[in-house]
Amino acid sequence: MKKPELLCPVGGADTLQAALLGGADAVYFGGTDFNARMNAKNFSRDEIRRAMTKCHDKGVRVYVTLNTLLTDRNLSPALDFAGFLYEAGCDGLILADIGFSSLLNGTFPGLELHGSTQMSGHSVGAAEFLKERGFSRMVLAREMDRENISLLCKESPIETELFVHGAICASASGQCLMSSMIGDRSGNRGECAQPCRLPYNGGKYPLSFRDLCLATHVPELLEIGISSLKIEGRMKSPEYVYTVARTWRTLLDEARPATEKEMARLAGIFSRSGFTDGYFVKDLSASMLGTRTERDKAQSATRRIRFSDSGRTAEPIRVFRKKLVPQAPALPPRKKSRFHRSARFQNAEQIPETDFFHEIYLPLEAFDGKKANGVLLPPVIFPSEETRVRQMLAFARETGARHAMVGNIGHLRLLKEFDFILHGDFRLNITNSFSLGSFPELTDAVISPELNSSQIRDLRGEKSVVVYGRIPVMLLEKDPETNLLCDRKGVKFPVLREGGRFVVYNSVPFYMADKKKLLKEKGIESHHYIFSVESKKEIEKLLSDFKQGKEAEIPVKRIK
């Protein structure tokens, strides 16, 4: 049984030392740009060189997080930074942007590419997609349970990496737009304001989870065969990094679960009302919820750790690489987009009698072969769910579905068996021209609603833009046990059940359908509409207003 890599977080020079003394096999950290923890200390270029040398002298591998979504204008500086990291001896890059990875693939020999958890990888199909694009590892979505992790690891063509300790999100990895939509701070760009940690519905915390800890499941993790076990915490203290790393080092070396004393030590250094293993054991109950209490803070503040070396020894890593100067990416030629309108509905009863739309989508489980001609695949399809999804796809295709909306990189493997016209959903997080070009199977794609009008104009390819609708801002595995989240300011977010999960929608819709001339000037020819809580009567009035170019009569959000 091969022992998995112990991968530890590093936010600065002090936590780097803590991780090394704690017994890390590998560390990960970010530079000053393009990483998903922009509020951590992070590393300058000189500090990165010194950190690489220090780690490699101790036989410890170094992965750098370049795991934010990039616009066309970010690509050249990001590529330059990747070139620097290559020369400095970086062992691997953790990436979230599939378009950026296409620029790196083959450019830097020997530099591993790891698919970030932000890529929402939770299936064998996702792992195959990444392998075809030069990746050697996929970081698994944190919402996966033991059964599905095991099924994926058995068939994955590339290495797997799993978060085993630290903070976790309520929303599915890579599928949270809440901070972006309500506060213009994008979690996909390292600026999350953590709205999940705030109270809702009169002081409750239905989105705030306890920290993850799988230390009592070490023998199971070893048996599953995961390649790398990852600790979260690039913004945590050196005491936290050392304590967690040292504990996990001991457990892995001795191939045993944590004792009560060890669990108490881990909770004492940092927890949110204790720990949860709810996702792993599939116990999606209120026991997963927790906040950082004053008692938790006081307990952590009294901990004083005396660092000592774990005694781990390994051969030094020697990396010799020639300096490469990557060329600025040549953007694909700009093409005139075809004009068409598409829309998604929650159920068939919402769909009006109209020829306004070229494509009408329903969730796969709601498709009835009558008014709609397209299906929306569930955003999350775990390996154990694939057989059922295939059956529904076959039924939909036989009863008239012609189009399919792809919302995850793993969907493409499932859809190969069926003759659908494929379109990309906004859930693919497409923010640059190379991302749009990374999916040759797609006729077009709905681009990320996080882009502003200038970024949309830069983007080349067959793109579609949401011009009306409440944007789904969270995708929840755990039931929030409410159909409406009301924040401290009285702002209300509808919660709907879709594809076996729960989707939180924004409090107000995008509304750009009355700006036809402006949209055309910005190169937005193809329009997508999202109908969620609207009734059929309300939708009919909206369409009438759109045709007449009327201003919105309700509070709305607009593309900047």
pLDDT in tens, 431-478: 999 999 999 999 999 999 999 888 988 999 899 999 999 999 999 999
Do 415 and 404 contact (CB within 8 A), yes or no?
A: yes
Indicate if the pLDDT at residue 4 is higher than 80.
yes
Confidence of residue 311 (pLDDT cuts 50, 70, 90): low
Task: Name which of 202, 223, 212, 379 is nearest 279 in CA terms.
Answer: 212
Indicate if the pLDDT at residue 552 is higher than 80.
no
Give pLDDT, residue 38. 58
What are the angstrom distances between the C-alpha of 236 and each of 15, 37, 188, 264, 310? 8, 11, 20, 18, 20
Q: What H or E segment, with its residue span, contains residue 104? A: helix 98-104
Query: What tokens were used for 518?
Result: 């402006």
Do 446 and 426 contact (CB within 8 A), yes or no?
A: yes
**What mean pLDDT value characterizes the chain?**
92
The whole-angstrom separation of Cα 257 and Cα 214 is: 9
The model's pLDDT over 54-99, given as tens digits with 9 standing for 90+, comes to 999 999 999 999 989 999 999 999 999 999 999 999 999 999 999 9
β-bridge mates for residue 422, sequence order: 404
Mean pLDDT of 225-254: 95
What are the angstrom distances between the C-alpha of 290 and each of 9, 272, 483? 23, 5, 21
pLDDT higher at 41 or 281? 281
**Least reliable range by pLDDT among 24-28, 318-322, 323-327:** 323-327
Give pLDDT, residue 263. 97
The whole-angstrom separation of Cα 501 and Cα 517 is: 38
pLDDT higher at 228 or 42? 228
The model's pLDDT over 134-171, given as tens digits with 9 standing for 90+, comes to 999 999 999 999 999 999 999 999 999 999 999 999 99
Give pLDDT, residue 103. 92
The whole-angstrom separation of Cα 166 and Cα 130 is: 26
What are the angstrom distances between the C-alpha of 120 and each of 56, 69, 143, 490? 30, 13, 10, 31
Do 418 and 397 contact (CB within 8 A), yes or no?
A: yes
Indicate if the pLDDT at residue 524 is higher than 90.
no
Give pLDDT, residue 33. 81
Q: ∠88-54-101 over CA atoms, to 5°?
A: 35
**Least reliable range by pLDDT among 3-17, 238-252, 332-346, 449-463:** 332-346
The whole-angstrom separation of Cα 280 and Cα 202 is: 30
Task: Name which of 482, 409, 471 is nearest 180 in CA terms.
Answer: 471
The whole-angstrom separation of Cα 361 and Cα 343 is: 6
Percentage of the chain beyond pLDDT 90 is 76
β-bridge mates for residue 27, sequence order: 8, 62
pTM (predicted TM-score): 0.95
The model's pLDDT over 397-413, given as tens digits with 9 standing for 90+, comes to 999 999 999 999 999 99
Indicate if the pLDDT at residue 206 is higher than 80.
yes
pLDDT higher at 525 or 479? 479
The whole-angstrom separation of Cα 455 and Cα 560 is: 10
Indicate if the pLDDT at residue 325 is higher than 90.
no
Mean pLDDT of 417-438: 95
Mean pLDDT of 426-431: 96
**Least reliable range by pLDDT among 129-133, 247-251, 435-439, 550-554:** 550-554
Give pLDDT, residue 453. 84
Give pLDDT, residue 36. 60
Confidence of residue 505 (pLDDT cuts 50, 70, 90): very high
Percentage of the chain beyond pLDDT 70 is 98
